[in-house]
Amino acid sequence: MPLDPNDPLIPLPWQMDRIRAYRAGKELAAEEDALKMQKLRLDIEEKLSERPESKISKAAELYQAMEQLKQEQEGIPFEAVAKQAALDENMNLLEANKQQGLYNIEQAGLRGKMAGIEAQLTGQKSLVPTEQYKYQGVSGTALGGQGAAQLSNARRNVFQADYNDFYDMAKFQGADDQQAHQIAIQKSEQKALKSQDKIVIALPGGGTFASTPEKINQMRDDPSTPQEIRDAIIAQWGAGNKQTAQSWLSSRIPKAVK
């Protein structure tokens, strides 16, 4: 049926631009309303995520995710739960190992919750307690309780990198393999010893303490020093009554091999 040009409901050609502008304005207003609503939802989600219970739950999720990734990379150890499942529940090894994996993930979640609660109790902004470590320009943030291990790794990595550099320089200067090895060890130790003017100890619960080897030894051997501080010093610096930088190097840094 053809359109009646006299029908008042049919827009005239000169009215179309105005109609198109009106429709475009309505679409733009709808998009702006949608963006405002999305921003409002994000603001609400952000505020909810800042609640203590949300942070604790998030910490548990992240610890479980780390455990799952660890299992994918390293496999699942055959430990107590797997052994009990295999012996008492008559499960095959695959099923028993699966039960061990589920148990480890559950325990990781509990550790994450405890870490999250500790962070809230101590007023930390992070999801879980953290520790700072620094050695010869290598620094970073570690999970609470792991600062000492990260610091040890940093020391070892720096020593190995220095060894490689000194070894290559000695070879370039005409030394044979054994001579280059001895030169690299000696120079790497000398460089490491110079960095021991100040010893940095990662403290339990977060934070660090830096002082001279002599002061660190005194604190370690002083009965009035809190036991957790003494334990941290012994773990990271050494337990000997006459600990020196040289003896520390001998006990902490492995022999470099080219």
Range in 30-39, 62-71, 196-205 the model is least confident about: 196-205
Q: Summarize pLDDT for 107-155 with one digit per residue, the tens.
A: 888 888 888 888 787 777 777 777 777 767 677 777 776 767 777 787 7
Core vs surface per residue 53-69: b (16+ CB within 10 A) or e: eebbbebbbbbbeebee
196 vs 255, residue with greater confidence: 196
Percent of the chain with pLDDT over 90: 2
In order of 31, 37, 61, the CA distances from 66 in angstroms are: 40, 34, 9
Structural domain boundaries in the chain: 13-48, 51-120, 130-252
Give the separation between CA 143 and CA 140, rounded to whole angstroms: 10
Q: Is the pTM above the cut of 0.75?
A: no
